[in-house]
Amino acid sequence: MAIAKAERLMNLALCLLGTRRPLSKRELRESIEAYLEAGTDDSFNRMFERDKDDLRELGLVIETVEGLDGEVGYLARRDSNRLPPITLDAEEAAALGLAAKVWQQARLAGAASGALQKLRAAGLPEDVDPYEAHGALEPRIPVHEAAFEPLMLACRDRRPVVFDYRKANAAQPGTRHVEPWALECWRGHWYLAGFDRDRGAERVFRLSRITGRVRSRGTGFTVPVPDVVTVRETVASWAGESADRSALIRLRAGAGYPLRARATAVRELGDGWDELEIPYGHGLDAWLVEFGPDVVVLEPAELRADVVDRLRAVAKG
């Protein structure tokens, strides 16, 4: 919906909900700036009738009152348009609180905070802390990437996007034309799943590797959006979550906590290094490259070669 129309509908709804008596079309036209700019009476009448129908389709109950000084009047009584009481259990409160946390560093942080306060006023018990509903730890979902908000809006509005993306083994970023489907957070990182038009296939992109600005390009998708978009499963397979082998690496002491969390065995080597056994699957080489000089692959040989190739590609850039 265009912003101008959405604003006009909101103003009309507020007028109809805020009045204690029916308002005529003439009074509504004088109260709403967009109607004053409508031009002729015929243009205003068509616009008003469309807006009234749209509000009714959205669920607003608008009453029509005859005989108002010879004019028809309109109003929306609050008791006819009041939502039922909102009741939230601990799990629902925790989910809403966590959703609000997503926006803690985004442009809509104020709106998210305000929405949470309204939910509290509408029925969320004051003694329920949505961040501590399941224990003493406060859940957090980081949103540091500038690409998060434009991609979230593009997913919602089904708008294709263009952005520059740097692969782990590439020295320079390349341009991607993508039909965005869904965003998902996995192990502290945000990922976008969508249809890559240049490659003609589904792809998953890590937001921290998007460089520059996300731009919108055209309207409409060329392929249907799947009913289920398996972002986590795809990323997990890249990171070796479904691995059936083990890799042996050296890791600098005090570094690489995510690797340590996944290790099946850890041995201290001394001189500031540890030896780890970790699950080995597709995509592990790209993950290891991110730890730079803190990681040295010992075996298997093919994994070591893949990591060295990726590091050389980055060094050339």
pLDDT for the residue numbered 58: 84
Q: Which of 84-98, 178-192, 276-290 has the lowest mean pLDDT?
A: 84-98
pLDDT for the residue numbered 302: 86
CA atoms within 13 A on the CB side of 268: 5
pLDDT for the residue numbered 275: 95
| CB 194 within 8 Å of CB 178 | yes
Fold (CATH) for 148-238: SH3 type barrels. (2.30.30)
pLDDT for the residue numbered 238: 56
pLDDT for the residue numbered 208: 83
The tokens describing 249, both together, are 């690496």
pLDDT for the residue numbered 18: 86
- Tell me the per-residue pLDDT of 52-105, one tens digit each, with 9 for 90 and over: 998 988 888 999 888 667 788 998 988 888 766 666 666 676 666 666 555 555
| CB 161 within 8 Å of CB 214 | yes
pLDDT above 50 for 196: yes
Taking the C-alpha atoms of residue 140 and residue 100, their distance in angstroms, rounded to an integer, is 10
Integer CA distances (angstroms), 247 to 260, 282, 296, 310, in order: 13, 12, 11, 17
Burial of 71 (0-12, 13-18, 19+ CB in 10 A): middle
pLDDT above 60 for 290: yes
pLDDT for the residue numbered 135: 43
Residues listed for the chain = 317
Q: How does the average pLDDT of the chain come out, rounded? A: 78
Label residue 48 by pLDDT band (50, 70, 90).
very high
The kind and range of the H/E element at 305 are helix 301-316
Is the model more confident about 147 or about 240? 147
Is the model more confident about 169 or about 194? 194
Integer CA distances (angstroms), 8 to 2, 26, 98, in order: 10, 16, 32
Label residue 230 by pLDDT band (50, 70, 90).
confident
| CB 223 within 8 Å of CB 179 | yes
Is the model more confident about 176 or about 137? 176
Query: Which residue is listed with tokens 């309207």?
Result: 219
Query: Which residue is listed with tokens 């129309």?
Result: 5
Q: Single out the residue of 285, 280, 247, 249 nearest to residue 267, CA to CA.
A: 249
pLDDT for the residue numbered 39: 79
What's the angle, vertex CA 204, arms to CA 198 and CA 206, rounded to 5? 115
- Residues forming beta bridges with residue 182, ordered by sequence position: 193
The kind and range of the H/E element at 52 are helix 41-57
pLDDT for the residue numbered 172: 80
pLDDT above 90 for 144: no
pLDDT for the residue numbered 152: 87
Taking the C-alpha atoms of residue 2 and residue 246, their distance in angstroms, rounded to an integer, is 54
* CATH number belonging to domain 3-80: 1.10.10.10
**What CATH number does domain 245-316 carry, 3.40.50, 3.30.70, 1.10.150, 3.30.450?**
3.30.70
| CB 94 within 8 Å of CB 134 | yes
What's the angle, vertex CA 244, arms to CA 239 and CA 249, rounded to 5? 60
- Packing angle between helix 109-122 and helix 90-102, nearest 10 degrees? 160
pLDDT average, residue stretch 226-243: 68
Q: Which of 115-124, 189-198, 199-208 has the lowest mean pLDDT?
A: 115-124
| CB 44 within 8 Å of CB 27 | no
Name the region of 39 (left: φ>0; alpha: ψ -120 to 50; beta: rest): left
- Packing angle between helix 41-57 and helix 3-18, nearest 10 degrees? 80
| pTM of the shown model | 0.45
Q: Single out the residue of 317, 234, 316 nearest to residue 283, CA to CA.
A: 234
pLDDT for the residue numbered 130: 45
pLDDT above 80 for 151: yes
Residue 7: count of CB within 10 angstroms of its CB = 14
pLDDT for the residue numbered 176: 94
The residue type at 73: G
